Structure 1
Amino acid sequence: MQRRTFLTGTLLGAAFATAPISALTTTSASAATVTVSSIADLQREIDRAAPGDRIVLANGTYHVPAAGIRISGRHGIGTHITIVSQSRGGAVLQGDRSFVLSNSSGITISGFAFRQRQTLVIPADCSDIRLTRNDFKLVDTAGVDWVVVKADGVKVDRNYFHDRSTEGVFLVADGPDAPVDPNKETMVKGLTILRNHFARHTYGGTNGGESIRLGVSHRALDNAGAVVEYNLFEQCNGDPEAISVKSSHNFIRYNTLRDCAGGIVLRHGNGTLVHGNHLVGGTEGIRLYGNDHTVFNNHLTGLSGRAFVIGSGSARDHLPGESKTLQRGNDACDRALITHNTLAHNARTLVGENRAHEPRDVVLSNNILVANAGSLVELGQHTGFTWQGNLLWGQAANGTIPSGGFVRTDPRLQQGADGVFRLLSNSPAIGAAVPTTHAVNDDVDGHPRGSSRDIGADQHTTAAPLRSPLTTADVGPNAA
């Protein structure tokens, strides 16, 4: 087939000025760049696209037919097929549906403004799909999740999800609709959620308005391996769980939640790492259920609710083969490691619960807890906890922490211009950390800890932070 190539420097410059090098490189000698200005022409070019092709939709507002823009049987093997707006947010898609994918791989969808009524689904018969630098503000319809990922190897990066007031989730990670074994429903594997901006979810209910939901109760024991990193959440108030984890062995790191009612909640599943996150203002902090989680280097300040909850359970553990009704209950937090976190000036600091099954065998070490009201530790029934090297300060009472698990002394924290509480050079926390079973090699700022480690999220240094709380310049369609 003869390929047509339209190389227009102005269009490419506008659309890809800050795109990653990998997104600009093509390896196919027959790869084409073509610009179209109608949905019919866009569909025609998608239907005949080959690896490395780039299809540019001119700026404008388009009403997408009821059948959607079909991407079927297209495979960007070796080099992605890229479908891109002429400029970021310049091609506005309206109508019931946007892109409808099936049996496709190696596809990048970039730069569109999505204004649909129905969910954008990445189905299980696809893989290696990338959604990047898009603007998602779907019609504000109750019960409609905006993006649902059911395929493996998907990357969702540098998008803007914003402004909804109804029940529903911005971004859902799920799994195949028809599992081979109906008693073992699996999660998508290898999902990356990177440098997105989630903002202003104002649904007023008590459940169902998460920003990200990784899984669902009956898939929670399956290992997803999702990476949620460097995302910014602002005024995400649609649910107490801004990031709701209902699967196992994920990585929640380097995110910033600012002025959000929702927090980071490991609601179901086991073995997730939560580290390097900033939770600033807002209400909820970090809440744990399930087994064998590791939580370190997190900085929580100014929260009006519970900064850190070690959850109790309606069940000891969830087990394979349970009914879906039982799987929706809470399972107690067992064998978590909670270390090198700084919780400063929150309304309630470290809190427990009182369901039938208490948390067990949790290690809390090298944490800084500071508050001026209430009690720093308010745990209910718990068994086999280990407390080591924690530092408590402020007018708040010690609470239920055992006497041998902490020292009470001023950590000498100073709040920087970025809002982070860091150690002054004469802090007693410097070099005072006890060894941990998980190697914590750097701090919340990205600085190496070395062999002499400090208590709390910050390792004292005069060097500038390598990581800081995120701002809008760090995320979304125009981020580097």
Structure 2
Amino acid sequence: MHKWSFVSVLSGLLLTVSVSVSVSAQADQVVSSLSALQTAMDKANPGDRILLADGSYTTSSPLTIKRSGTAAAPITIAAQHTGKAEIKGSSGFSFSGGTSWVVLQGFKLRHKANFSVPAGATHNRLTRLDIQLGGDGNWLTANADDTEIDHNVFQNRTAAGLFLQILGPSGAMSKRVHVHHNYFYNHQFSGSNGGESIRLGLSSYQKYSANAVLEYNLFEKADGDSEAISVKSSDNIIRYNTIRNSRGFIVLRHGDRSVVEGNMLFDNSGIRFHGNDHKIINNYVDTTGGRGIIFGSGSEADSGPTSKEHDRPDRDVVAYNTVIGQKDVIHGDGGTFKPKDCVLANNILIGTSGNLVSMPSGSVVKYEGNIAWGGAAGMPSDGYKSVDPKLVKDANGLWRLSPGSPAIDAGVGSYPYAATDFDLQARAGKYDIGADEFLPGGARKALTTADVGPLAP
């Protein structure tokens, strides 16, 4: 809709009349063969929408995306109906370097070749794709800045390799990659290493800032590696994800200054971290596997830029989490170099036996404001209270504070970066201990398949 102004003289008066004129946008272009799709993509202009009709299509060469849209008018290449256009064969879509502002949407990808967004191909979006490829290696690699990867499903893999790798050009991490509302399902590689759902960087990239945000993703049967999310870069945010029925953890394996916030982890999953200046806050961990949050082992004091060893945790803060398990719900892996100048504060820790906190001798950790219940605390006496936090299970199966809980208004110290609880509600005054601030309207629940993937809102 465009507004045009006309000037008219009526009875000697100058009037400006605004008239709204409807200008039709270019119609969607529907194609029904791969050759027609390639031709349309080669001629695409900003704002064009190219739709592939429902059906199954077999490739013998890559479907190359060369043309760029703009921020205001991206080029859209999509299945006419989500999940109804299947791409099989030897190859799939291929972004040319420098191709930007393209939306790839709605395809069912069953081809053999892996695919990537190369460095230089910025501001592209991959959305509502059903990805189950036949090739070895990493199915999708994002090497470009400002790539958005959302509402996809990555599923059913038994071979080594990743569902998603976020990397970048040699000597730099891709910046500001946003991964959200995806469903990572059933990675069943049976080897000891190399089957992560997401890897964010490499050991040799650990000192590079990525500024990635991974949020609102659901992981189920993430069993291909002990690391469902493996972070090997710096300055990232991992928040509001759900992991269940998986052996994979959220792991800050290499890098510094990342935030792990508001995640929900169930069954055998948890959080492990190495490196410096991380914040592990407002997470809800309900584990039957024992260890819920792990201060990772240190085989060196501080990792060099290309080291593959385990960096000692330094100056990391674990605060305002709710961790429910059996024993060792907070655990230190040990190693030659122990955690140094770290903080464990204002967490609710619930177990059934043994020590709830088990840190190796020589660790330098400040303990304050924690509640420990159901087992021996394993902390200095001034770092906790042994008192029933009076949690009650809500309609969604989550343990929350109830009226009269000793956790209410009991937080100590200053942790302003924990000011939003796991319901995304603002804490006020003295914070409540644990992930849940006792406020009306808290309705957070674990993500389900209705919340993520190609058909989610």
Instruction: Supply the distance in 1 between the matched residues of 2:303 and 2:27 (Cα, whole angstroms).
Output: 52
2:184, 2:326 → 1: CA distance?
A: 23
Give the distance between the partners of 1:299 and 1:197, measured in 2 at CA.
20
Give the counterpart of 1:83 among 77, 81, 84: 77
Q: Which residue of 1 aligns with 2:303?
A: 318
Residue type matched to 1:402 in 2?
P
Per-residue CA distance 1:248-276 (angstroms, 9 max, x = gap): 00000000001111010000000000110
Other structure's SS at 1:199 match: strand
Aligned to 1:3: none
| Cα contact 2:157–2:186 (8 A) shared by 1 | yes
Cross-structure match for 1:187: 173
Quick check: 2:43–2:67 contact (8 Å CA) kept in 1?
A: no
Quick check: 2:338–2:364 contact (8 Å CA) kept in 1?
Answer: no
Letter in 1 for 2:435: A
The answer on 1:430 being equivalent to 2:424 is no
Question: Is 2:48–2:76's contact at 8 Å kept on the other side of the alignment?
Answer: yes
Q: Which residue does the alignment assign to 1:4? A: none
- State the percentage of identical aligned residues: 41
Q: Distance in 2 between matches of 1:441 and 1:377?
A: 25
Q: Does 1:362 align with 2:342?
A: yes
1:109 to 104, 107, 111: 104
- What's the counterpart of residue 250 of structure 2? 264
Is contact 1:369-1:393 (8 Å) kept? Answer: yes
Asked if structure 2 preserves the Cα contact closer than 8 Å seen for 1:441 and 1:448, the reply is yes
**Alignment match of 1:414 (pick from 384, 392, 396):** 392
For 1:28 and 1:34, the matched residues in 2 are separated by 18
1:51-200 → structure 2 map (5 Å cutoff) = 51-66=46-61, 68-76=62-70, 78-102=72-96, 103-139=98-134, 141=135, 143-176=136-169, 179=170, 185-200=171-186
Cα deviation digits, residues 135-156 of structure 1 (max 9, x gap): 00112x4x42110011111000
Judged with a 3 Å threshold, the aligned counterparts in structure 2 of structure 1 residues 439 and 457 are, in CA distance, closer, same or farther, namely: same
Q: Which residue of 2 aligns with 1:403?
A: 381
2-side partners of 1:234 and 1:257: how far apart?
6
How far is 1:417 from its partner? 2.7
Instruction: Confirm or deny that 1:278 pairs with 2:264.
Output: yes
Q: Which residue in 2 is equivalent to 1:388?
A: 368
Quick one: which amino acid aligns to residue 83 of structure 1? I
Separation in 2, partners of 1:30, 1:371: 61
How far apart are residue 126 of structure 1 and its match? 0.6
Partner Cα distance (1:62, 1:305) in 2: 48
- Whether 1:376 aligns to 2:356 is yes
Distance 1:423 1:476 in 2: 32
Query: How many residue pairs were aligned?
Result: 435
Over residues 425-460 of structure 1, what are the superposed CA-to-partner deviations in whole Å (9 max), with x where a residue is unaligned? 011111110132433222111222111311000111
Contact 2:290–2:325 (CA<8 Å) still a contact in 1?
no
Partner residue, 1:473: 450
Please state how far the C-alpha of 1:305 moved relative to its aligned partner: 4.0
1:345 aligns with 2:331: no
Q: Could you tell me whether the CA contact under 8 Å between 2:29 and 2:49 is conserved in 1? A: yes
Amino acid at match of 2:409: G
* TM-score normalised according to structure 2 size: 0.92
Contiguous gaps of at least 5 residues in structure 1: 1-26, 180-184
* Change beyond 3 A, Cα 1:124–1:91: same
In structure 1, C-alpha distance between the alignment counterparts of 2:104 and 2:357, rounded to whole Å = 48
- After superposition, the Cα gap between the structure-2 partners of 1:425 and 1:30, relative to the gap in structure 1 and judged at 3 Å, is closer
Structure 1 CA distance for aligned equivalents of residues 247 and 290 of structure 2: 9
Instruction: Give 2:172's aligned amino acid.
Output: T
Q: In terms of mean alpha carbon deviation, does 97-106 or 431-440 score higher?
A: 431-440
- State the distance in 1 between where 2:166 and 2:145 align: 10
Preserved CA contact (<8 Å) 1:297 1:456: yes
Q: Is the 8 A contact 2:392 2:399 kept in 1?
A: yes
* Residue pair 2:55, 2:86 contacting (<8 A) in 1 also: yes
TM-score, length basis structure 1: 0.88
Q: Which runs of 5+ in 2 are unaligned?
A: 1-21
Q: What RMSD over aligned residues (CA atoms) do the two structures have, in Å? A: 1.6
1:461 alignment counterpart: 439
Aligned residue number for residue 217 of structure 2 = 231
Once residues 380 and 342 of structure 1 are traced to their aligned partners in structure 2, the CA distance between those partners, rounded to angstroms, is 22
Cα distance change, pair 376–406 in 1 and its aligned pair in 2 (3 A): same
1:355-380: CA deviations, max 9, x gaps? 11111000111001100022201111
Q: Which amino acid is 1:119 matched to?
A: N
Shift of 1:345: 2.4
The change in CA–CA distance for 1:388 and 1:154 in structure 2 (over 3 A counts) is same
- Cα deviation for residue 300 of structure 1 reads 0.4
